[in-house]
Amino acid sequence: MSVSEMFAALQGALGQDQDIREEIRKVVQALEQTAREILTLLQGVHQGPGFQHIPKKCQKAREHFATVRTQMESLKTKFPADQYYRFHEHWRFVLQRLVFLAAFVVYLESETLVTREAVAEILGIEADRERGFHLDIEDYLSGVLALASELARLAVNSVTAGDYSRPLRISTFINELDSGFRLLNLKNDSLRKRYDGLKYDVKKIEEVVYDLSIRGLNKEATVGAGGEK
């Protein structure tokens, strides 16, 4: 084979690779649009009246996740199944965003932490990497850390809306989350930096709880929560 033939073959391989990346990019753009729609919907819970409509907003968000699952099925067909990590960077960010959104919906519904397996089911992908297109552990953890930041914001807005018990529950949840992350030996630089930000979320929520205590509203919140149970 001549040099020109060799490089012609290489160009053909590069062209095929570029075609794959372009097809992936189109689907990822659609996923990003759906993620923005879900985020816009859920941001409504931060408004005063939004607390009264949390169940309805979560239901609508679940409907949007049906679209996500369809888009994920399309994405799976755009590249060879054994080359997941070769193209992973193309969808890593949007997948982390979708993990966060799924985790936020589950928290709003039940005030619990969604499992990686449950997120994978919501998104229509696998939890086990051996089964193909899957939810990478680090992508799951990144999404959970984004949830912590959102809940810190929710704690502040809860007080503004007159819901004094929610910040106490968020504080308990975030502290449990922090304890869980402390069990991990994080070596990924990006994930480690995000985890370092969790301490600021913990501090922000503690300040909210402290303010409620100073104002005597924590007792009212505790009594109210006890009455609900």
Binding-site residue ranges: 150
Residue in 151, 147, 156 with CA at minimum distance from that of residue 48: 156
Please state the residue numbers annotated as binding site for Mg(2+). 150
d(CA 181, CA 198): 9
Residue 1, token pair as written in the block: 């084979």
CA 78 to each of CA 46, 81, 83, 92: distance values in angstroms, whole numbers, following the listed order: 37, 9, 11, 15
d(CA 9, CA 18): 14
CA 197 to each of CA 100, 122, 143, 169, 184: distance values in angstroms, whole numbers, following the listed order: 15, 27, 13, 20, 15
Contact indicator for 204, 149 with CB cutoff of 8 Å: no
CA 73 to each of CA 70, 101, 124, 168: distance values in angstroms, whole numbers, following the listed order: 5, 19, 8, 40
